[in-house]
Amino acid sequence: MRKSSIFCGVLFISNVIISQTSSISGIINVYTEVNSISGNTLVVSNSSSITISDQVLIVQMKGVSVNSANSINYGSITSYNNCGKYEFAEVASVIGNSIILNAPLQRAYTPSGKVQLVRVPVYQNALVVGTLSCLPWNGSSGGILALRVCGMLTLNSNIDVSGKGFRGGSVLTNSTQCFGDTTSYVESSLLQPNSYFAEKGEGVFLNGITNDIGRGKNSNGGGGGNDINGGGGGGANFGKGGRGGDFYGPASCPANFVMQTGGMAGEGLSYSNALSLVFMGGGGGAGHQNNNTSSNGGNGGGIVIIKASSISGNGYSIYSEGTNVNFLPNSIDGQGGGGGGGSVLLDVNSVTALNVSIKGGYGGSDNYSGPDCHGKGGGGGGGVLWTSNQLLNLSSQLIGGAAGVFLGSGSPFYNSSLNATAGQGGANLSGLNLPGRIVVCDNEVGIKEIHEENGRLIVYPNPSNGYIKLSDVGVKILGPIKLKVLGPLGNLLLSFTFKNMEDLNEANINIDSLESGTYFVILNSDLETHYTKLVIE
């Protein structure tokens, strides 16, 4: 079959879509930061990979307000503002770094809260032939895997966005004082390199260098350990993270005293069908070190959003786990907290043999056997599996990560955690309704609807012997227009995109790739659909 074309000098042409199965793997999305929003125009950092008629996803990643007092309540969320809002949209045109959508966004966003635009590929059917993933969150974009499949998504490999979410706290070069610090919940990294605190894990609060260290939580990011050698708190998503472990010194600082220096647990986030918000897993806090043997906090899991008719899992899995913090041999410092599990959203009618794992990562451990006991990492909280309906033949794991433990047999707290705690479990939610304007596939139109001509669209000549023109009798569509040619069973054969009705009326549309028979022509915009029969001799 030859590829069809349209002869018109000013016409914008979308890719011709022929019903098929696309083999996919690796990274299939494109990401760019949104700098400003005005009506249906988004100014982005880089529009080079975005084209007309693209399906895109807009997401605000951060922007909550938190309790800012230097107390045990530091980092508690007081308002979500626009954080977590998301929606699908369609691109009408691209001018420089300005992306014009075919309609204004339905929800409000705050670009300073790290809004990103993600290009979402659309497939008739898709086969995952190698691990499917996403770019890791870099502070401005990434962390999301989103795809649209009109028919079946088949897994012959895993989908894995584990550790692609909010970043764990990094270890810092620190000092120690014998009396330690149990009451500093928020401090500035400008105090480095001679401070006594570890870095918080990243979360939905947009913090900076003036409030990025100390044992207080960072919204759903775990708090960093304090002097002496506190363990990092676990990151969170739906499930709350675990608290970081404390320090015990039988011979010094002072003797036989448990110093409560562990980072606070990341805060669990609110989900509901009414709010329709989505979040990545929070990063775990880092452990405090003064001997350069500590560990970073674990990264949170990313976001997976799939809209498809069905998923054939073949026993493979979708992973969005928080990162584990592995034990360090003979460490004599605090250890990092585990990352929070991510979010998996499935708008599908059915699945078979599919596993989903959105566990929190476990906190850091060590096997030091000496008398001093250094804080272990808290576990990450479990994430969210959110489906459009109750799905059979799907198994899920949403447990929180375990706290780190003392693995040295000579330690006074051997096989225990010294106040470090596990992350709480995540949630399995139903009733998902993806917001925004999602591409409608031709198999969703329905054959009955296609056969009922509405009499407002005229195709000529009809019968045709190789090309057609269209007349918009009674049709008043503004903006981008899609023209589709379907087979007798409703299967999509050809697809084109026009800038406006004037361009469509001037175009000679070459359809000589089609064999003789009866077809259906569909003309639609975001708000209207018109259709008629076409006969090819």
Which of 438, 454, 471 delimits the end of a domain? 438
Same domain, 386 and 480: no
Winning range, highest mean pLDDT, from 317-326, 388-397, 467-476: 317-326
Coil, strand, or helix at residue 315?
coil
Same domain, 395 and 422: yes
Which of 385, 420, 438 delimits the end of a domain? 438
Report phi then psi at 501, rounded to 5.
-65, -35
Residues 164 and 138 sit within 8 Å (Cβ to Cβ): no
Same domain, 358 and 434: yes
Residue 323 has pLDDT above 90, yes or no: yes
> Do the bridges between strand 122-123 and strand 247-249 make them parallel or antiparallel, or are there none, so unpaired?
unpaired
Can you give the pLDDT at residue 119? 98
Can you give the pLDDT at residue 184? 95
Tell me the pLDDT band of 195, cut-offs 50, 70 and 90.
Answer: confident
Task: State pLDDT tens for residues 14-67.
Answer: 333 334 799 999 999 999 999 999 999 999 999 999 988 899 999 999 999 999
Same domain, 469 and 453: yes
Same domain, 425 and 288: yes
Report d(CA 107, CA 247) in Å as an integer.
47
Residues 368 and 405 sit within 8 Å (Cβ to Cβ): no
Same domain, 174 and 321: yes
Q: What is the mean pLDDT of residues 357-366?
A: 98
DSSP 232-291: PPPP-SSSPPPPPP-EEESSSSSTTEEE--PPPPPPPPP--TTT----PPPPPPPPP-SS
Residue 451 has pLDDT above 50, yes or no: no
> Which of 367-376, 444-453, 502-511 is predicted with the least confidence, judged by mean pLDDT?
444-453
Report phi then psi at 442, rounded to 5.
-70, -30
Residue 472 has pLDDT above 70, yes or no: no
Tell me the pLDDT band of 194, cut-offs 50, 70 and 90.
Answer: low
> Which of 164-178, 326-340, 463-477 is predicted with the least confidence, judged by mean pLDDT?
463-477
DSSP 166: S
- CB within 8 Å of 244: residues ≥ 6 apart: 215, 222, 223, 225, 230, 231, 232, 233, 234, 262, 263, 264, 265, 285, 287, 334, 337, 363, 375, 376, 377, 378, 420
**Does 98 fall in a domain?**
no
Coil, strand, or helix at residue 520?
strand
Secondary structure element (H or E) that encloses residue 448, with its range: helix 447-451
**Does 355 fall in a domain?**
yes
Can you give the pLDDT at residue 477? 65
Residue 9 has pLDDT above 90, yes or no: no
Task: State pLDDT tens for residues 152-174.
Answer: 999 999 999 999 999 999 999 88
Same domain, 415 and 515: no
> Do the bridges between strand 30-38 and strand 41-44 make them parallel or antiparallel, or are there none, so unpaired?
antiparallel
Coil, strand, or helix at residue 321?
coil
**Alpha carbon 269 to chain centroid distance?**
15
Number of domains in the chain: 2
> Which of 168-182, 247-261, 405-419 is predicted with the least confidence, judged by mean pLDDT?
247-261
Q: What is the mean pLDDT of residues 282-309?
A: 96
Q: Which two tokens stand for residue 89?
A: 């949209």
Report phi then psi at 226, rounded to 5.
-100, 165
Which amino acid is located at 79 in the chain? S
> Which of 1-10, 78-87, 205-214 is predicted with the least confidence, judged by mean pLDDT?
1-10
Can you give the pLDDT at residue 378? 98
Report d(CA 182, CA 73) in Å as an integer.
14
Tell me the pLDDT band of 123, cut-offs 50, 70 and 90.
Answer: very high
Which of 438, 459, 476 delimits the end of a domain? 438
Same domain, 347 and 418: yes
Q: Nearest Cα to 426, choosing from 305, 275, 321?
A: 321
Q: Nearest Cα to 99, choosing from 35, 33, 42, 31?
A: 42
CB atoms near residue 169 (< 10 Å) = 32
**Does 107 fall in a domain?**
no
Residue 273 has pLDDT above 60, yes or no: yes
Strand order in the sheet with 6-7: 6-7, 508-510, 467-471, 458-460
Mean pLDDT value across the chain: 88
> Do the bridges between strand 350-352 and strand 384-387 make them parallel or antiparallel, or are there none, so unpaired?
unpaired
Report d(CA 155, CA 164) in Å as an integer.
20
Same domain, 267 and 371: yes
Can you give the pLDDT at residue 514? 85
Same domain, 400 and 454: no
Task: State pLDDT tens for residues 302-319.
Answer: 999 999 999 999 999 999
- Can you give the length of the chain in residues? 537
**Does 97 fall in a domain?**
no
Phi-psi region of 444 (alpha: psi -120 to 50; beta: other; left: phi over 0): alpha
Cis peptide before 461 (omega within 30 of 0): yes
Can you give the pLDDT at residue 467? 79
Q: Which two tokens stand for residue 422?
A: 């596990």
**Does 321 fall in a domain?**
yes
Can you give the pLDDT at residue 179? 82
Residue 530 has pLDDT above 80, yes or no: no
**Does 45 fall in a domain?**
no
Which amino acid is located at 451 in the chain? H
Report phi then psi at 455, rounded to 5.
70, 10
Phi-psi region of 508 (alpha: psi -120 to 50; beta: other; left: phi over 0): beta
Can you give the pLDDT at residue 104? 92
Same domain, 499 and 423: no
**Does 359 fall in a domain?**
yes
Domain housing 344 = 119-438
- CB within 8 Å of 274: residues ≥ 6 apart: none
Same domain, 368 and 452: no
> Do the bridges between strand 144-155 and strand 122-123 make them parallel or antiparallel, or are there none, so unpaired?
parallel
Q: Which two tokens stand for residue 164?
A: 């692609």
Strand order in the sheet with 529-536: 492-498, 481-486, 517-524, 529-536
CB atoms near residue 79 (< 10 Å) = 10
With 0-12 CB in 10 A as exposed, 13-18 as middle and 19+ as buried, what is 78? Answer: exposed
Look at the block and give the residue holding tokens 């290009």.
119
Can you give the pLDDT at residue 12? 30
The CATH number that applies at residue 493 is: 2.60.40.3080
Can you give the pLDDT at residue 165? 98
Can you give the pLDDT at residue 449? 36
Terminal-to-terminal C-alpha distance of the chain: 17
**Does 427 fall in a domain?**
yes
The whole-model pTM stands at: 0.83
